[in-house]
Structures are given as C-alpha cells and as structure tokens.
Amino acid sequence: MSEKSIWYLENIDVGTILCPNKLGEKTKDDHLKVVDKNQFVYLPDDKSDLIYFIADGRIKISSTSDDGKEIIKAILSKGEVFGELSLLGEQNRRDTAIALEETKLCCIPKDEMSGLIQDHSSLSLFFMKIMGSKVLEMENRLESLVFKDSRSRIVEYLVELVRKNGQRIGYEWVVRNFITHQEIANLTATSRQTVTTVLNELRTEEIITFNRKRLLVRDLDKLKEEIR
C-alpha cells in the first residue's frame, strides 16, 4: 500500500474497519469476495447498494459512449474504494466495474457503511477526501483535454501514475502492473498509436523504459519537463 494513500496521511486504518476478516481465513464472511480477471463487479443499471474496498488487485471503472467507444474513468488498485456514490443516493449504477486481474474485495452494504461512519468518525473524513479527490481529478482531466495536446496529456498521466502508484528505487521510479497502451489512450482521450509513439520516444530519450508488466521512470524531473 502506497504511503501516498489518503488514509495513510490521516493515520486511518481503513482496511481493518472495512475488511476486519482477512480473505483466505476459514471463517465465512459474506462481505468478502474474489473476482476473477475480466469478471464484472457491476454493470450500468445494476442496483447501487454496495461499497467496495479493494483488498488486492485492480478494478477498471468505465462507461461506453453511444458509438460503442469505451471511456475509462479510473483504474483503481489495492486500498482504494469504489461504488461510494450509493452513499449519496445513487439508486442504479451508471458505470461498469471490471477486474483487470484476480481481485479481492470487501463488499459493504450502504446501510451498514452508514453505521460504520457513525461509529468511526474518521471514515467520514476519509470518504469526503475520496469524493473530493475524484472531483479534482476529473476537473484536471477536463482541463488537460481542453488546454493540452495529446503528448502532454499522456506524459501528465504517466507522472500522475508515478505519484499514485510509483515505488522509488534509488533515483528511479517503478510502477508495477503497467496498463495497456489502449487503456492509456482511453484515459487520455488519445489513440493507441499516439500512446505507442509517445512512449517509444520517451524510451529513446532514456527517460523511461517499459514492458507489459511495469513502467520504469529513469528521470522523473525530465519526464515532468515534457508536459507543455
């Protein structure tokens, strides 16, 4: 779990509160669920009655346009929460949530979550920060779409990926479970070909190196300078 996680900064042990029983224990707990790779957690119009905490794995949140194009809203990993709009009165899902790999979830009914928030005041701040950070992230993506070119949007996403999920190794940063070029394109409103071109250019400049499993940023400051 990254030290940049919201609950780390606030010293909140959210995992223990939301998922008190560890997955794999013999004790049965209906709140615990293992989702296979490419299995849907929910689809649009499904009832919005659960909040999900990712104990391990990755989840993609997306929607589909009228012409069938996928719009990726977020790729979430261990320690993150999704489905929280049910706490704000959402009755049915508007997005799709799918596992990008085998993923372990803690599933909490919204009524039970409301009780947990009453019992643990720190959870209220936690969810406020989650919702606020998601709004800011969407605003930043909108501004990038309007004011920045395709290359800058892709580079900006890589920098943000390092900030959220990067692990420092000496002077370099590594991001494991690197996503596909198409997924980066869907997140940055660009094309897969453009993403491939930009990544290859950055690799030629020895700023990054990458494969299907990881991204290695050799010079983060230089990567940031690529944002125009």
What digits encode the pLDDT tens for the residues 167-226? 999 999 999 989 999 999 999 999 999 999 999 999 999 999 999 889 999 999 999 999
Q: Confidence class of residue 13 from pLDDT cuts 50, 70 and 90? A: low
Model-level pTM greater than 0.85?
A: no
3-state helix, strand, coil in the chain (%, to 5): 40, 25, 35
Topology of domain 148-225, per CATH?
Arc Repressor Mutant, subunit A (1.10.10)
Token pair 């809203």 in the structure block, residue: 73
Q: Comparing 48 with 21, which gets the higher pLDDT? A: 48
> Domains of the chain: which residue ranges?
6-134, 148-225
In sequence order, what are the residues at sequence separation of 6 or more whose Cβ sits closer than 8 angstroms to the Cβ of residue 150?
Answer: 188, 190, 191, 194, 198
Q: Which amino acid is residue 121, in one-letter code?
A: S
What digits encode the pLDDT tens for the residues 70-126? 889 999 988 889 999 998 889 999 999 999 999 999 999 988 888 888 887 778 778
Cα(173)–Cα(64) distance, integer angstroms: 33
pLDDT number for residue 180: 92
Sign of CA dihedral 47, 48, 54, 55: negative
Helix residue ranges per DSSP H, 148-214: 150-165, 181-188, 192-204
Topology of domain 6-134, per CATH?
Jelly Rolls (2.60.120)
What digits encode the pLDDT tens for the residues 33-71? 999 999 999 999 999 999 999 999 999 999 988 888 888
